[in-house]
Amino acid sequence: MRKKCPLRGHKIALLMKDTMKKSLLIVESPTKARTLNRYLGKEFIVKASKGHVKDLPENKLGVDIEHDFRPEYRIIRGKEKIVRELREAAKKAETVYLGPDPDREGEAIAWHVAEEISRNGDRKPENVYRVLFYELTHSGIEQALKNPGHLNRSLYEAQQARRILDRLVGYMISPLLWQKIKRGLSAGRVQSVALRLICEREREIHRFEPREYWTVEATFKKKGESALINAKLQKVNGKKTNLNSREDANKVIEAVKKAKRFIVSSIERKRQRKNPPAPFITSTLQQDASRKLRFSPKKTMTLAQQLYEGVSLPDEGMVGLITYMRTDSTRLSEESIKAARKFISQKWGQDFLPSKPRQFKVKAAAQDAHEAIRPTDVFRTPEAVKPHLTPDQFALYELIWKRFVACQMKQASIARTGIDIIPIDAEITTVFRATGSVVEFPGFMILYEEAGDENGEPDSAVIPSVKEEEILTMISIEGKQHFTQPPPRFTEASLIKELEQNGVGRPSTYATILSTIQDRKYVVLEDRTLRPTELGFVVNDVLTKHFPEIINVSFTADMERKLDEVERGNYSFVVLLHEFYRHFKPMLEAAQKNMENFRTSGVPSGICCPECSTELTIRWGQNGDPFLACPNCRFTSNYKRNEKGEIELLQPQEVNETCPKCGKPMIVKHGRFGPFLACSGYPDCKTTKPLGLGIPCPAPDCSGEIVERRSRRGKVFYGCSRYPNCSVVFNQKPVSQSCPQCGYPIMLMKKTKSRGEQLVCANKECKYSMPLRES
């Protein structure tokens, strides 16, 4: 039950007119605070917590398992000053409004802020309100402040349960991985399931055996016309085509060639109506942005957050352009639908407007408190705001705007035609089919097509007008060889779809999951597909062996369903944690005793050392790259896996350099510190050198070359090969490119959060820099 607020019913500009003290509004983001400040004016003090202010401790579990998993929250290091400022501001305010994002994480921020500002009786709980901003517009802000409510305990407990579950898995399994495989690894309740899906798909690809098959295609035309009809063989002797070799295809081709004439045996015409897609939810936005814009989920969510929190527009100031972007509901407000229909009518006319507004079915498990992701004002078109957005912000806003408008437009009408062509007097009976389609009325497709449809319909050819029993002439016929294809690797978009369909994780967590498994080097992105690394395979195999139930799709999905029930107030989060730990504890104890120690023994490779026949093991260098090493002799080698996943040794790479001691060729080898040069005469000659970058040392009168080096702690740096006679050193990777400003012969690659990848001049006295893509 909501508590009556003294501000209810007043316009924003008059909310504080009759009160002695100002009200305090606390949100989590400085950008969001600036946007709200513009609307609220001097009557409100708006402060930002800058994210979470409290969390579990970094250096210990922070969960009291014996006392119903009681969490030990602490103020995050570096946030003490912010918390003090919020307390002081709350003391001076008549009323406090907590306005972090309207989701589980936002509720946790609001709860922890409320605890801190109410500590020692500084603030009465009855004067603390929770406000939910679904859009940062005048009407959205006014609506939120007119209808404040209490903190939502169920929502907070759902977030607590998820945080504690993740802490139990991460804090208890990750140290095992450090001990047994490699330092710096991590496990996660959901991220490990995502890794398992990727690894299992890769092994499916390794096991796949391609099968040869053939298709037969023929070209026909009507008498006296030049237009061609392309058709594919569908049936042979009444059965579906099944040609497994060139010989099978040639038999059919030769028999068809003997036919004296061909006729149209049947014509099938259908009219298909294609409905517009639903407005975006978090997962579909990430998928479409990945396919259409090639944005990573993390980038998509960062840009969406910027559009939600507000951008500066002329004569308007900071304006939120989209509604809240973490949602799994396709619900739309009546006001937004009316606005969209008005826009469609004005822009394209009544022909493109359906007779009734479109409503989209909301999934049973969806959190329907939020709307779908949509523009806050449909009349604020992408072109109108383009000058005030970055190119990436514009691309995402345009995608969201078009999807929303399209969802309220008429269906597309597509006419599909299929004709069957048969030979007369042939040795065998065959049926060739030609298909085509024509868009009779584009409807919503005039504005928006779903990702994957950009190349048009697969059978979009226009078929010349023909009649049944009409005689055709065959112009050509040929067989084409094909091979069955393995299942495709996951893309970021298809993995999100897979996780969502299986109920694993929440749409709001997918971007973080995908970033984490790539940051940990469990997975790499190659040609926009996700491929597990050697490290990813080993971590996955260890986890699935020792924690089969925890790293399980159905078990994780069941946990997510129970978290949703906790959020609805239908399930105890303490019961959920006990249920989980009852499964988890025995597996953890067994793993601590029985997990293989690959860190000391290496991972068996299944191939023998070419020098002593001992089985080689896979190890990881300090740069993270895997290599093969013999536990019996000093043989090491780089390697690759073939299409079947089998390990193949790579031959040592020779360089145009001879050993300074014995004169034999130098070769590139790989060790725990990465690649280096070694004498090919090993073990008789043990000369080694750092691997050069091919960049001459810039020091005057120095004949050295810049080489990659490592400090005692494994940190990479770059210096002159003539060290200690030459002390030139760089912390960033050098590039052989002259500075356009001062002419210094070397530029450095530098990556920053705010400016991305940059090339900066290596001359310390020159401050020149430029984006890497412009180099």
Residue 367 has phi, psi (to 5 degrees) of -90, 95
759 near 747, Cβ under 8 Å?
yes
Return contacts of 625-632, CB within 8 angstroms, 24+ apart.
625/670, 625/674, 626/533, 626/534, 626/535, 627/670, 627/671, 627/672, 629/602, 631/601, 631/602
Q: Which helix (H) or strand (E) holds 97?
A: strand 96-98
Quote the CA–CA distance of 300 and 286 in Å, as a whole number.
6
Q: Is the peptide bond before 387 cis (omega within 30 degrees of 0)?
A: no
Structure tokens at 406: 């399209």
747 near 737, Cβ under 8 Å?
yes
Quote the CA–CA distance of 19 and 24 in Å, as a whole number.
13
591 near 176, Cβ under 8 Å?
yes
Task: Give the neighbor-by-neighbor strand order of the sheet with 716-720.
Answer: 692-696, 705-710, 716-720, 729-730
Quote the CA–CA distance of 441 and 451 in Å, as a whole number.
20
Quote the CA–CA distance of 634 and 619 in Å, as a whole number.
13
The owner of tokens 């229909």 is: 341
238 near 429, Cβ under 8 Å?
yes
CA distances from 371 to 85, 362, 749 (A): 34, 10, 43
Quote the CA–CA distance of 211 and 595 in Å, as a whole number.
40
| Helix, strand, coil % in the chain, rounded to nearest 5 | 35, 25, 40
**In Å, how far from its chain's centre is CA 103?**
20
Contact residues for 512 (Cβ-Cβ < 8 A; gap 6+): 298
Q: Please, is 692 exposed, middle or buried when counting C-beta atoms within 10 Å of its C-beta (0-12, 13-18, 19+)? A: middle
- Show the DSSP H helices in 595-653 as ranges: 598-601
The owner of tokens 């806003």 is: 397
Residue 355 has phi, psi (to 5 degrees) of -65, -30
The catalytic site residues sit at 324
DSSP labels for 681-696? TTTT---EEPPEEEEE
